[in-house]
Amino acid sequence: MNSLQQTLILPLFLAIFLTAPVSAADSAAGEQKSEPCANCHGQKGNSSNAQWPNLAAQQSTYLANQLKAFKAGDRINVIMNSMTANLSNEDITNLAAFFSSQKPVKTSSADPALAKSGEAKAGMCLGCHGATAQGNGQFPRLAGQHPKYLVQQLKAFKEGSRKSGPMQAITANLPEADFKALAAYFGSL
């Protein structure tokens, strides 16, 4: 191979390599698998019941991480541990692609005064959860999530029943009295 051929071929290889999809997530296959999920998480991941978190527009990396954690028993919830038991890695990637691409619908309302006091405390959360709490990769979207669900999760991190390095440390230093205000603020976004 002469040097001219090399200079032509190398960029071609790089172009092919760089444009190859990292994982072939199939949102349509995810939608098919999502039928049983709709019973609790609502049509297209917008849940009308505060016990069941919204999944629509949630970060796909975060969704996949949680489904794997439920399946492995690292995150404990009787319902979700059984719902994920028979999901393959491919199912998980596809479900995450489907839910993350759905439009969020406002499903809950928060007390405006409580939300306002939460806003004043929320600055320290935005570095990881995003300027509008839209999430990013492994950091979940909190915007529009049911406040009751958010409070439950903050309590679980503080008690240690839900494990996560950053959130256990953060909630350890956060008075429980602030949980409701923060949750009301993020739920209102």
Residues of this chain that interact with ligand HEC (CB under 6 A) are 36-37, 39-41, 51-53, 55, 63, 65-67, 77, 79-80, 83, 95, 124-125, 127-129, 138-140, 142, 150, 152-154, 164, 166-167, 170, 174, 182
Cα radius of gyration (the chain): 20
Residue 55 Cβ vs ligand HEC, minimum distance, rounded to whole Å = 6
Compare residues 7 and 86 and give the one whose CB is closer to ligand HEC. 86
Non-local (6+) Cβ contacts of 157 within 8 A are: 164, 167, 168, 170, 171
Looking from the CA of 91 toward its CB, the CA atoms found within 13 Å total 14
Residue 125 Cβ vs ligand HEC, minimum distance, rounded to whole Å = 3
> What dihedral angle (degrees, nearest 10) is formed by the CA atoms of 19, 26, 24, 68?
130
> What dihedral angle (degrees, nearest 10) is formed by the CA atoms of 153, 62, 58, 178?
30
Compare residues 9 and 169 and give the one whose CB is closer to ligand HEC. 169
Residue 16 Cβ vs ligand HEC, minimum distance, rounded to whole Å = 33
Compare residues 11 and 45 and give the one whose CB is closer to ligand HEC. 45
Residue 120 Cβ vs ligand HEC, minimum distance, rounded to whole Å = 12
Backbone angles phi, psi at 99, to 5 degrees: -65, -35
Residue 95 Cβ vs ligand HEC, minimum distance, rounded to whole Å = 5
Compare residues 60 and 112 and give the one whose CB is closer to ligand HEC. 60
Compare residues 40 and 105 and give the one whose CB is closer to ligand HEC. 40
Q: CB atoms < 10 A from the CB of 155, how many?
A: 14
Determine the Cα–Cα distance for residues 34 and 136; give it in Å rounded to an integer.
23
Determine the Cα–Cα distance for residues 109 and 131; give it in Å rounded to an integer.
21
